[in-house]
Amino acid sequence: MKVYISATLRNFFGKNSQVEAPVDTVRKALAYLISTYPEGEKVLYDENKKVRDFIQIYVNNKKLTVETIWDATLPEETEILLLPAIAGGAPTDAPVESLISDERRKAVSFDDSEIERFGKHLMLRDIGVKGQKRIKAAKVVVVGAGALGSPVIQYLAAAGVGTIKVIDFDEVSLENLQSQVIHGTRDLKRPKVASAKDKVKNINRNIDFIAEKEELKASNIWEEIEGYDLVVDCTDNYKARYLINDACALHGVPVVFGAIYQFEGQVGVFNLDGGPCYRCQYPSPPPSGLIPSCAEGGAISPLPGIVGSIQANEALKLILGIGEHLNGKLLHIDSLNLTSRILKVERNCNCPICGNNPTITDVEEIDYEDLCGLKAKDEVPVEGFSPEELAKKIDNGDPMTIIDVREPHERAILRFPNAIVIPIGQLVRRIKELDPNKDTVFVCKQGKRSELAINTLREAGYTGPLYNLKGGIDAMKDIMFTHEGAWL
């Protein structure tokens, strides 16, 4: 049988996208993977030897929910998919009515310029005048004005969505311009929401655009989404993704979800008409640092355009009440191999948010920093050096071992001088390469994976002094690597 491995997991399995396993059950296939690639055990299984919650297993595009099925004999042509998070019920194929009521539609009118502007929509039988009025009456929140938000915001604006609120706390940087096409060179160091507002006003000045430069938190999320018809999740981190899902699930607001990594993307619709929420698919996020984020792993520039365009398409279909939706489904796209598949997402009756007996009734009950492994654990503090401190130690020639745990493509962009390369999955078996009598400093792009490396060694019993580069190489590049050639 063939085992397809999603991009975020491939570094643990010899960088293979597909592995031929000469076995006939799921359990044997997983065992074969681990025996062939021992480094994959840490990412695939938790400390209780259970498959981690952020990884779902599909057999011939059907999700396995009962572990006993793992021992069933399967035919040779079987395809197993390991699908990680990148963040009963109503029948998912049932028609979905428009999110916009007839009363709100009838309250909308067009002027002559709008009739000309939206002529291509008005000619479509499934849209027409009534549908275009629904679009104008719609109120949509887009969280994130980055790579995914760029196409979503522009296409919703071009389609004529009447009210668009965009929430993002970040500013435009040079590295954003490769894939965040809503921004330009003149927008560098400007708030992303301000840049997005300019672009939208250039598309259609009649749109009511609300720019919110702030970080979503449990204390403000309901205030930001209350009164809106749907939320489009264009975030790039698990903390925001679970917060958005939970708040929307609790208040019955549909979410159009999207995620990207390298050459792969996912799109789904959650919290719609009794359908599943994001937690039904991925009960918990991966441990912090275990899986690189899009910012760390990169993404080919057209990919967010593909995924974001599909998100905008799903949002418009929900507003119009037409077509089939990704409610209870997950579209998985592989742009490198030019394949896609639609996977079924079941509603989990034990889900703590939308299950039969929910245990979470308010987002303020949840510590999302802790849920996503972002909060420092008091019992195991990770010591570290600031970029300035480490630079001074290097300049002074202080004895130390520097371990670089980044991926090969990251090191190709910027090498850390005199560092030893040891991937996290190899740390335990290469522990003898470390000198417990010397300081060992771990470096990665942003400082999260190096913290995981330190905790991994501690769990393995290593007693030497271990330090993390605070903020990673991103925080240090201007100190140590000031000439442009260092990035080539």
Q: Which residues contact 143 (CB under 8 A, 6 or more apart)?
A: 149, 166, 167, 168, 216, 231, 232, 233, 234, 235, 240, 244
Rg (CA), the chain: 24
Q: Give all strands of the β-sheet with 439-443 in edge-to-edge order.
A: 384-385, 466-469, 439-443, 400-404, 420-421
Q: Which residues pair with 211 in a beta bridge?
A: 166
Buried b or exposed e, range 441-478, using 16+ CB within 10 angstroms: bbbbbbbbbbbbbbbbbeeeebeeebbbbbebbbbbee
Q: Among this protein's residues, is 372 annotated catalytic?
A: no
Q: Give residue 87's Cα distance to chain centre.
A: 5
Classified as helix, coil or strand, 303 is helix
Q: Among this protein's residues, is 280 annotated catalytic?
A: no
Q: Where are the beta strands (DSSP E) in 64-212?
A: 79-84, 139-143, 163-167, 208-212
What is the three-state SS of 444-472?
A: CCCCHHHHHHHHHHHHCCCCCCEEEECCH
Exactly one of 294, 351, 354, 372 is catalytic; name it: 294
Exactly one of 234, 248, 351, 444 is catalytic; name it: 444
Active site residues: 294, 444
